[in-house]
Amino acid sequence: MARAATSLSRQWVFGYGSLVHIENLARFLAEHDLALGAYRYGELSGFRRAWSVAMDNVRTLPGYKCYVDMATEERLEAFIAFANIEREIEAITHGLLFEVDTARSKFSTPASATITAPT
């Protein structure tokens, strides 16, 4: 059976942590002009959650983004830590695979890992 071509503006994203709560996810996406499409709860084998990424939001570095207060649009003077996932053969990360339409947004994906399945 042939598969239909997927629009380039639609992406599948594996979310974990706070993105697993569907109401929070829908609200987050709406704040960034993204629409929640289909979604499924699942597991990502071979990866574990880790707090292994951090940045000093005060420093300006080429190619790095900075975070601003959404209400005031002022740069936050803080250290920002990110939960991400790292490869670990025996681990399992529980999460939510969800589809978003990025055509109207200035963001390419929400704050989560984009996973490309091996072919």
96 touches 14 (CB < 8 A): yes
Q: Are 34 and 107 in contact (CB under 8 A)?
A: yes
| Per-residue pLDDT reduced to its tens digit, 53-74 | 888 888 888 877 888 888 888 8
Q: What mean pLDDT is reported for the chain?
A: 77
Contacts of 24 (CB under 8 A, 6+ apart): 18
pLDDT classification of 32: cutoffs 50, 70, 90:
confident
Cβ atoms < 10 Å from Cβ of 84: 16
List residues bridging with 96 in a β-sheet.
15, 41
Contact 94, 85 (CB under 8 A): no
Q: Which two tokens stand for residue 28?
A: 């987050």
Q: How confident is the model at residue 104 (pLDDT cuts 50, 70, 90)?
A: low
All residues at 6 or more sequence positions from 39 whose CB lies less than 8 Å from its CB, including other chains: 22, 25, 96, 97, 98, 99
Total-model pTM: 0.58
